[in-house]
Structure formats: C-alpha cells, structure tokens
Amino acid sequence: MRVANYCPVCGAPTVMQERFGRQRPVCSQCNHTIFFEPKVAVVIFVVEGDRVLLVERANDPAKGTWALPAGFVDSDEDPRDAAARETLEETGLTVEVTHLLDVLHRPDPQGLADLVIAYRARVTGGDLQAGDDAADARWFTRDVLPMIGFRTTEILLGRWPQDED
C-alpha cells in the first residue's frame, strides 16, 4: 500500500481518513486529500513479417532478459507519442503506432507500472541500434525467441498470431 506522510501542498503531516469511499491520506492542516494515481507505461509490439522487435534489458529488474520496447508515459504526454519515443530511444527505429492492442492492469509482479498500454506499431525509418536502457535490440522470429523477462511481453507474444494484421 502506498503511503504519503506529508501534504504535497503545504508540507504538514497527513492522517488517514475515510474520503471518497476509502481510507486516504488527508492533510492535518489544509485538509488536502491525496489520491494515488496509477503509474502508466506503454509497451510496443513491432512486427515485420514473421519477426518481432525485442530489446535486451541493460538494467535490473530483469537485466539480461529480453522484452518488447517499453517505458513510462510522462505526465503530459500522449501515450502514442510515448510509444514512438520509447521505441526510438531503445531501438533507433522510428515507428508509426497503428492501433491499440490492450490495456493491462499490473500483470507484472515486479510492479513497474500499474497500467500498461500495449500498441501495435510498424517501422517507418531509422537504423536498428540499441540505446537508453536497452543493451541490445534485435528482430526475432516466433520459433527462436530469447529469454523473456516481463509478463506483459509474454502475454503479448502469446497472442501474436491473433494480433497479426
């Protein structure tokens, strides 16, 4: 459970009170109610023919395993833009997001994000080169997949045939 000991508005200590149907931190001075919001990430399923684009994690959690390109959405960012940005940062490829695949609620016990928005995208340019928190970026065919480190990637790869355009 998340905690907030101090008010983000005035800095005074909070107390737990019933507000809007559940216990929430409430400021003891200015009465501000703190609502915890879900952390949102995007994951991008890029396919070319029978190959899918995966990145090797350079850092923990799951360092050394492979996953679909992914990352957090900035607070003022369109998630489709976040998908294109993360793919470019991690793989060097520019992509066009074609459609929404799913919105997954915390399927990852590592708890990196509360909501994961999964998009399908296709490559429009760039040169394949790993960057940011990706140690490597490669295309893999369905029958020769590397060790996958994230549940969201497993779920989406498992549905691959159905997601084929």
What residues line the site for Zn ion (CB under 5 A)? Answer: 7, 9-10, 12, 27, 29-30, 32
d(CA 62, CA 51): 22
Looking at the Cβ atoms of 28 and 65, the one nearer to Zn ion is 28
Between vectors from CA 87 to CA 84 and to CA 91, what angle results, nearest 5°? Answer: 145
Q: Would you say 89 and 82 are in contact if contact means Cβ atoms under 8 Å apart? A: no
Q: Would you say 126 and 119 are in contact if contact means Cβ atoms under 8 Å apart? A: no
Residue 2 CB, nearest distance to Zn ion (Å)?
Answer: 17
Residue 21 CB, nearest distance to Zn ion (Å)?
Answer: 21
Looking at the Cβ atoms of 4 and 112, the one nearer to Zn ion is 4
Looking at the Cβ atoms of 20 and 127, the one nearer to Zn ion is 20
d(CA 33, CA 72): 25
Q: Would you say 67 and 76 are in contact if contact means Cβ atoms under 8 Å apart? A: no
Residue 5 CB, nearest distance to Zn ion (Å)?
Answer: 12
Alpha-helical runs (H) found in the chain: 79-91, 151-158, 160-163
Looking at the Cβ atoms of 5 and 162, the one nearer to Zn ion is 5
Residue 76 CB, nearest distance to Zn ion (Å)?
Answer: 24
DSSP state of 163: H
DSSP state of 74: P
Looking at the Cβ atoms of 34 and 52, the one nearer to Zn ion is 34
Residue 32 CB, nearest distance to Zn ion (Å)?
Answer: 4
